[in-house]
């Protein structure tokens, strides 16, 4: 008899099935859903299981890991379940509804965070991204031309998702009761909740990071608010007196005025150097393009320049370069956009306009801004003529984002149109479209660009909705090949005596590059003036289409002062005082910029 009693005392906690299964199934599904967006956006580089990097210890991987699996804990979800279990006064219908609403808000935030971090590589900051979301999402949907049944299906799916979340939360709360959960489940819930609370105690400042194994929605919101307030203060304290003083080029006049083409190449990133299967064909492509240019009497200098943004937001990249001011978030861009509607900013375009240049801006994408926004856009950049899709008279193939015409046609048409309209020297700006995601299977260059303006010209293949990652990467490389070969052809067909071409990437390509690839993009200076091109070696450029060291030598915002200095050196009045070269441009904060050493 004593032995029987002793056995009962040593018996392990029992499990209650199916109560335990219902509780843990619902709780773990709710938990995994929060981490699903990050996993889906990184699944090509993340594994299903929670494995860490080769250098990580087991303990480090338990705390934080760059593998964005779903085996993580959401602090609020587990703590809520624990409180519901132990605090009987909390078990109210309105509390369940409130938590369901908080969970849905948290899920939306986790989706937003995943897109921000893993698509654009930007920290989620409400203040700097609210305008981008409110203006960009409608523009995205409008440009996508999706059929209305798809919107209906999406709405029904959303309703079903909300209903499913409600059902899961209800299941958790119905089974998180002392009478329904086994002692084993109670101990497990207490342990996991305790682990989450310990993480809050020891790693509170880091729980906003998607790398952490324990995640806190409220810590993420708190960090977002702190970051938003910091950017708000930065924008509110913007002092343009330093900008006007720095870029006061009065009296710094050009005697000879070569045409200048500033061409941003969409998604042209240094990742091309950093993947073994890309590096060799990319360098071969550069050698091929360089040979074409050299044989035609052109000279090239190249380097890497660090862009202010990653994976998207091209407008911040090219505005930083033109304005000589680092703009790395949409709040700064929007503040500038609104501030310089009634007064002129001393950007590169305005400086050259004062030197007698005709400033042409090409926007080939078919989706255009509304009339009032277009007027604001033109006032902000202050160009003389704007060649838009409607001006191209184009009936040929449409590709890529927008969609857009083939760049070979758009660039050549815009140049010919500008040359016919003015006898002034030309400053020509554009950003290419055909290397924009999604990457189409682009055709070979036409012998005559005018032949492309034909409704019967073969339409390039659009990528399928579901495409293998390797095929996507190949399409990206082919798009870059098309752009560089097209630009080589565009340059070699230039008839002016002494034109200067600046080819520069706007940011790394989304989806086919990673954080470790950095933020830098290639930049090429092309001209028939050998002395002008060779002088860029002083600033770290290699005298080739290729570069020896895959490290940035400047920032995009340093391009303005660099070009102004080099133009004045070779084409300016005699004994002109050269402006300082500012490799980092002017900071957005009210501090003096740092000139280059020497």
Low-confidence ranges of the chain (pLDDT < 70): 1-17, 51-61, 132, 134-146, 590-592, 597-598
Decide if 472 is inside a domain: yes
* Contact status, residue 71 vs residue 50, Cβ threshold 8 Å: yes
Q: What is the distance between the alpha carbons of residues 92 and 142, in angstroms, rounded to a whole number?
A: 44
Q: Which residue has 């758009």 as its token pair? A: 410
CATH of the domain at 430: 3.40.720.10
> Are residues 162 and 204 part of one domain?
yes
Q: Find out whether 299 and 533 touch, Cβ atoms under 8 Å.
A: yes
Task: Give the contacts of 334 (CB within 8 A, at least 6 positions apart).
Answer: 131
Nearest of 490, 550, 491 to residue 522 by alpha carbon: 550
Within this chain, do residues 290 and 439 fall inside the same structural domain, yes or no? Answer: yes
pLDDT of residue 558: 97
Residues 251 and 215 in one domain: no
Residue 587 counted as domain residue:
no
Q: How far apart are CA 536 and CA 125, in angstroms?
A: 38
Residue 301 bridge partners (DSSP): 525
Cis peptide before 311 (omega within 30 of 0): no
**Residue 378 shares a structural domain with residue 499:** yes
Contacts of 318 (CB under 8 A, 6+ apart): 264, 429, 431, 506, 556
126 part of a folded domain: yes
Same domain, 270 and 207: no
Residue 277 lies in a domain: yes
Domain identity same for 195 and 241: no
Residues in the chain, total: 598
> Same domain for 225 and 260?
no
Task: Judge whether 586 lies within some domain.
Answer: no
Domain final residue pick, 198, 217, 232: 232
Domain count, the chain: 2
Contact 385, 362 (CB under 8 A): no
Q: Which of 232, 252, 278 is the last residue of a domain?
A: 232
Copy the structure tokens of residue 544: 């080739």
- Strands 398-399 and 358-363 come out as unpaired
Question: Is 424 within the bounds of a domain?
Answer: yes
Let me know if 90 is exposed, middle or buried by CB neighbors in 10 A (0-12, 13-18, 19+).
Answer: middle
| Measured distance CA(428)–CA(322) in Å, rounded | 12
- On whether both 147 and 266 belong to a single domain, the answer is no
Q: Tell me whether residue 582 is in a domain.
A: no
pLDDT computed for residue 391 by the predictor: 96
Same domain (yes/no): 256, 204: no
Q: Which domain holds residue 197?
A: 11-232
What is residue 301's three-state secondary structure?
A: strand
For residue 205, the model assigns a pLDDT of 81
Both tokens of residue 65? 């890991």
Kindly report the three-state secondary structure assignment for every residue of 380-445. Answer: HHCCCEEEEHHHCCCCCCEECCCCEECHHHHHHHHHHHHHHHCCCCEEEEEECCCCCCCCCECCCC
End-of-domain residue from the set 175, 201, 232 = 232
One domain, residues 172 and 288: no
Q: Retrieve residue 96's tokens.
A: 């369940």
This prediction's pTM: 0.83
CA angle centred on 466, ends 463 and 471, rounded to 5°: 55
Secondary structure class of 88 (helix, strand, coil)? helix
Relative orientation angle of helices 330-339 and 217-236, to the nearest 10 degrees: 30
310 and 292 share one domain: yes
The pLDDT of residue 152 is 80
Is 543 a member of any domain? yes
The answer on 292 and 196 residing in a single domain is: no
**Separation CA 480–CA 113 (nearest Å):** 29
């Amino acid at each position: 008899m004593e032995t029987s009693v002793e056995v009962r005392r040593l018996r392990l906690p029992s499990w209650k099935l199916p109560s335990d299964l219902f509780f843990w199934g619902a709780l773990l599904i709710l938990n995994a859903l929060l981490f699903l967006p990050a996993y889906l956006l990184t699944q090509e580089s993340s594994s299903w299981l929670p494995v860490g990097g080769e250098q990580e210890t087991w303990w480090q991987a338990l705390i934080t890991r760059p593998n964005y699996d779903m085996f993580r804990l959401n602090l609020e979800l587990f703590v809520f379940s624990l409180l519901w279990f132990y605090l009987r006064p909390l078990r109210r219908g309105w509390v369940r509804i409130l938590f369901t609403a908080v969970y849905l808000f948290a899920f939306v935030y986790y989706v937003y965070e995943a897109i921000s971090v893993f698509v654009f590589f930007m920290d989620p900051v409400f203040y700097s991204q609210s305008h981008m979301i409110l203006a960009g999402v409608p523009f995205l949907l409008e440009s996508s031309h999706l059929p209305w049944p798809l919107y209906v299906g999406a709405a029904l799916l959303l309703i079903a998702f909300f209903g499913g979340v409600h059902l899961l939360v209800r299941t958790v709360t119905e089974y998180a009761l002392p009478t329904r959960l086994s002692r084993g489940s109670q101990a497990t819930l207490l342990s996991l909740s305790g682990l989450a609370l310990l993480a809050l105690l020891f790693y509170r400042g880091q729980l906003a990071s998607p790398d952490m194994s324990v995640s806190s929605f409220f810590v993420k919101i708190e960090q977002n608010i702190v970051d938003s307030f910091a950017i708000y203060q930065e924008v509110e304290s913007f002092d343009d007196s330093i900008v006007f003083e720095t870029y006061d080029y009065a009296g710094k006049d050009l005697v000879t005025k070569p045409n200048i083409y500033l061409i941003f190449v969409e998604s042209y990133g240094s990742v091309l150097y950093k993947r073994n299967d890309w590096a060799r064909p990319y360098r071969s492509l550069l050698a091929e393009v360089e040979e074409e240019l050299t044989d035609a009497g052109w000279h090239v200098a190249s380097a890497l320049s660090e862009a202010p943004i990653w994976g998207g937001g091209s407008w911040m990249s090219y505005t930083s370069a033109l304005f000589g001011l680092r703009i790395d978030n949409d709040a700064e861009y929007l503040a500038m956009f609104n501030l310089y509607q009634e007064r002129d900013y001393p950007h590169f375009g305005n400086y050259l306009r004062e030197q007698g240049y005709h400033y042409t801006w090409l926007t080939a994408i078919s989706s255009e801004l509304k009339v009032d926004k277009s007027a604001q856009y033109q006032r902000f950049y202050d160009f003389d003529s704007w060649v838009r899709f409607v001006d191209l008279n184009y009936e040929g193939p449409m590709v890529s984002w927008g969609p857009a015409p083939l760049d070979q046609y758009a660039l050549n048409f815009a140049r010919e149109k500008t040359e016919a309209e003015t006898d002034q020297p030309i400053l020509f700006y554009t950003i290419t479209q055909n290397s924009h995601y999604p990457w189409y299977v682009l055709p070979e260059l036409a012998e005559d660009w005018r032949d492309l303006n034909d409704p019967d010209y073969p339409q390039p293949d659009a990528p399928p909705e579901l495409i293998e990652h390797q095929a996507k990467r190949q399409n990206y490389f082919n798009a870059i090949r098309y752009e560089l070969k097209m630009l080589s052809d565009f340059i070699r067909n230039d008839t002016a005596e002494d034109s200067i071409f600046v080819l520069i990437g706007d940011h790394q390509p989304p989806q086919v590059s990673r954080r470790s690839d950095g933020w830098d993009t290639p930049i090429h200076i092309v001209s028939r003036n050998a002395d002008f091109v060779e002088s860029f070696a002083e600033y770290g450029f290699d005298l080739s289409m290729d570069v020896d060291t895959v490290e940035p030598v400047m920032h995009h915002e340093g391009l303005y002062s660099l070009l102004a200095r080099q133009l004045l050196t070779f084409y300016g009045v005699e004994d002109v005082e050269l402006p300082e070269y500012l490799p980092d441009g002017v900071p957005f904060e009210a501090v003096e910029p740092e000139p280059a050493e020497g």
